[in-house]
Structure 1
Amino acid sequence: MRVRRRAAQLVAVVLMALGLIAVGPASSYACACGAMIPSDSGARSSGELGLVQWDGRTETLDLSMVINGRTRDAAWIMPAPKDTRVTLGEKALFDRLKEATKPRVEKRYHYGPDFSFGGDGDGAGAGSDAGGAPGAAVSVEGTSTVGPFQVTTLSGTDGSAVNSWLTSHGYPARPDLVPSLQSYLDQGWRLYAVKLTPTAGQLQGELSPLRMTFPAAKPVYPIRLSEHAKDFQSVVVYVAAAHRMDQDLPTAPRDEAPGVAFARWVDPTLLDPTRSYPSGQRVFLTKTMTHAAPGQIDADFTYSRAAADTEYQEVEYVDVDRSWVSELAIAVVGLLVLLGGVGWAVRRGRGRLRTHS
């Protein structure tokens, strides 16, 4: 009976694994800021990186998609306010940010003897089509080429019409996206349909960042379209402002509250090494990491000034084994005890010899 139960469990595990392989890539094309479709079915979006820079009136948003696998091209939707200026971001930006905000390494020395017998240690604590008239159900306001990106700006009054346009032009769209699309249109926002085709080779890993600049009363990271995503969402957003900015609490609970991985004053050249800043100028950089199920994302991420400019940085502990020190001390003590015992035995033996003589 035990053999039969083990066999049945093994078959169930194999079937579950095959099921995950079958549905995995096909069901994970949604990105945190909107929907994304790699043209190759073997590739999928695995995250994104965002940098929000806010000076109190204007926001500059740099966005880099991350593709797991290889694909010939990709397309996605990016909502943003009217009159957004779209330019090309800097390729090395997020590499610098990742390096500057990585956890601080601290060593933990262990001097006690190790009586374990193997096992794992503890783990350490991203040509235009003709459009309708302004105010029409859907209007193509223009198409521009920004580096490797082709960006089409859409406006309108009917989310269903915009969704139909996107579907017929090879962009990610589904009927269940319509309420979110309609919400952005009702705000007077535009929908930027983006296509990216490499000049050579295939797309993989972190894609070139796209930069969007627009007026903003407070920092915002458009993510509402991810309410309709298929997979669990993991988003890393850097926020640079004159003070520490914390992510506002969501209206719906998440599996895990947005976490702050880094919050410190930094040199502004970290954000743009080519720009000249006044001597001594600093900017407060906050790195937030959010993990949430798609259905729990019901609003864009917004950020407000924190109560204080409290600095914080994650710490990664590295365990250093110094047990040899205590082991050596034990050995020395043991040797001294042994020598002391031998000396005592020798002295006692000599004493007995004198007595007998």
Structure 2
Amino acid sequence: MLLRSTKAVFTACTLVAATAFAFAPRTAEACGGCFAPPDPPTVVSGHRMVMSVSQTQTVLWDQIQYAGDPEEFAWVLPVKPGARIEAGTSAFFEVLEAQSAVRIAPAIVDCGGGSSSGCSASFAASDEFGDGSAAPGENGGDPVEVLHQGTVGPYETVTLSTEEPGALNDWLESHGYNVDDSSQPIIDQYVAEGFDFIALRLQPGQGVKQMTPVRVVMEGGSVTLPLRMVGIGTGAQTPIVLYVIGEGRYTTQNFPEALIAGNLLSWDFATSESNYVELRDQALTEDDGRSWITAYAAQNFFNTSVFDANFNSTTLIQFYLNQALANGELSSSCALGLGYFSGTVENPCPPGEPWDSPACGSVEPGALDSRQLGCVGAEDIAVALDGLNVENVWVTRLEANLPRAALSDDLTLEAAAEQVPVNNILTAQIAINPEEACGNGVIPRTIDVSNVPGNRVAALMTTALASIAAALLLRRARARLARR
């Protein structure tokens, strides 16, 4: 079921980069307060988010990419009481990216002996967005209470609570976090609204160039994402890519949605490039830069069939597990027994308990055990689908490039008026230098496919191209692992 907007603010992790990166087609930077020591400098090069919403829980995955070697890099996440933080996998983001990234098909031209789309250069990606604390009970009269501390992946984590304005910033500064003074009014707003905070920083000796993803799990469904903290430490623009997983297609409620001028989409056969990036950037500048676009939306996403690294057909969920193994995020291979998944997913284990815990029970009759959707260490898809009917689940990819002035409002989502798919395979309508496709001095004729129902040309290629991209992704991951 689609969740309607509520007044309750989504208890998401929020993150702000210490430096902004240009809105090139890469992974996006999202919402929140991220702090890093000034020396050595930290350069943020990308950030991705996934938001899963059901009637029983809301989950946010967060991943930031950065360059440089900071001695300490940390960020703060406003969360509702009871939220827990867990380790995620890069494979989850990679699978979503491989399936949803926009790809451009060249304009179809008639060379006199049949149509052509540029042979080896017929399809190309559109250059998309990417690629010393007190223990609980030992606080005494401290206005900040330490609720929990531990480790998640390469991070040490601490969950904090306070009711006193300014106290959280003081605590962070006294414990070695380089906190931007401009963050205090915004953090105090979240304090007044009843939020707790999870603070993360890299453990000593950790020098990774790409932070591993984390996921924050909260009880109850909410469709509001706090963007107010994005303005802390960012540049003039904040690029965002947000994947929304839920029973229906979502769109923005309090931000305008823009459309890319598909009739102006061109393909240059001389350079094998399209103008999609320029058209997208132009659309995102509408309404003072507050506009979002829906780059992709599809139902029953997780039952998609793809090709593995050997170009054998497999399920998307099995591909995710293979990718996690190739990344080194799983220690051993994991094969699922089901080829097609249906029913509402249910986790029989108590919150926070691992799947192999003796505390786990059994699911209700007719429900799908979440443990059938993953393996210990690669549970992201299972967590995302908890409480959702697999066949009714949509994945929607939203993109924005928000100016700082737009970051004074939280993002609220709602059900899209039209529950129809958005194809990520687009066919150019304008051919530039089409003679390059034909050769031998033949003067080509561009074939208009704009009126073909559902653009069958693109539709027929969608599954094949996404599957090939997935297979190539897995091969690259295996090659990287072999070089370690």
The TM-score with structure 2 as length reference comes to: 0.53
Q: CA, structure 1 residues 328+162, in 2 after alignment: closer, same or farther (shift >3 Å)?
A: closer
| Aligned counterpart, 2:145 | 139
Q: CA, structure 1 residues 128+42, in 2 after alignment: closer, same or farther (shift >3 Å)?
A: closer
> C-alpha distance in 1, partners of 2:425/2:85?
37
Matching of residues 1-357 of structure 1 within 5 Å: 28=20, 32-37=31-36, 41-110=40-109, 128-129=133-134, 132=139, 137-197=143-203, 202-205=207-210, 207-231=211-235, 232-250=237-255, 254-268=288-302, 270=316, 277-278=341-342, 281-317=391-427, 321-324=436-439, 327=442
Whichever residue aligns with residue 78 of structure 2, its letter is P
Whichever residue aligns with residue 246 of structure 2, its letter is A
Q: Aligned-pair distance for 1:71?
A: 3.6
The question of whether the paired residues in 2 share the 8 Å contact of 1:218 and 1:304 is answered with no
Whichever residue aligns with residue 247 of structure 1, its letter is T
> C-alpha distance in 1, partners of 2:48/2:19?
21
> C-alpha distance in 2, partners of 1:239/1:328?
45
**Post-superposition CA distance 1:110-151 (Å, at most 9, x none):** 458xxxxxxxxxx969863256469x6322212111121211
> C-alpha distance in 2, partners of 1:328/1:224?
55
> C-alpha distance in 1, partners of 2:190/2:91?
31
Aligned residues: percent identity? Answer: 21
Whichever residue aligns with residue 288 of structure 1, its letter is L
> C-alpha distance in 1, partners of 2:288/2:163?
31
Whichever residue aligns with residue 66 of structure 1, its letter is Q
> C-alpha distance in 1, partners of 2:97/2:204?
24
Q: Aligned-pair distance for 1:244?
A: 0.7
Q: CA, structure 1 residues 199+92, in 2 after alignment: closer, same or farther (shift >3 Å)?
A: farther
Q: Aligned-pair distance for 1:72?
A: 4.4
Q: Aligned-pair distance for 1:288?
A: 0.8
SS at match of 1:35: strand
Whichever residue aligns with residue 181 of structure 1, its letter is I
> C-alpha distance in 2, partners of 1:179/1:312?
39
Q: CA, structure 1 residues 233+111, in 2 after alignment: closer, same or farther (shift >3 Å)?
A: same
The question of whether the paired residues in 1 share the 8 Å contact of 2:35 and 2:180 is answered with no
Q: Which stretch has the larger CA shift, 80-89 or 36-45? A: 36-45
The question of whether the paired residues in 2 share the 8 Å contact of 1:71 and 1:203 is answered with no
The number of residue pairs the alignment matches comes to 292
The question of whether the paired residues in 1 share the 8 Å contact of 2:298 and 2:421 is answered with yes
Q: CA, structure 1 residues 52+214, in 2 after alignment: closer, same or farther (shift >3 Å)?
A: same
Unaligned runs of 5+ residues in structure 1 are: 1-24, 113-122, 330-357
Whichever residue aligns with residue 229 of structure 1, its letter is G
> C-alpha distance in 2, partners of 1:198/1:220?
35
Q: CA, structure 1 residues 322+230, in 2 after alignment: closer, same or farther (shift >3 Å)?
A: closer
Cα RMSD of the aligned pairs, angstroms, is: 3.4
Q: Aligned-pair distance for 1:258?
A: 1.4
Q: Which stretch has the larger CA shift, 68-77 or 159-168? A: 68-77
The question of whether the paired residues in 2 share the 8 Å contact of 1:74 and 1:197 is answered with no
SS at match of 2:48: strand
Q: Aligned-pair distance for 1:32?
A: 3.0
Whichever residue aligns with residue 46 of structure 1, its letter is S
Q: CA, structure 1 residues 210+27, in 2 after alignment: closer, same or farther (shift >3 Å)?
A: closer
Q: Higher strand proportion, which one?
A: 1
The question of whether the paired residues in 2 share the 8 Å contact of 1:111 and 1:325 is answered with no
The question of whether the paired residues in 1 share the 8 Å contact of 2:149 and 2:157 is answered with yes
> C-alpha distance in 1, partners of 2:219/2:188?
21
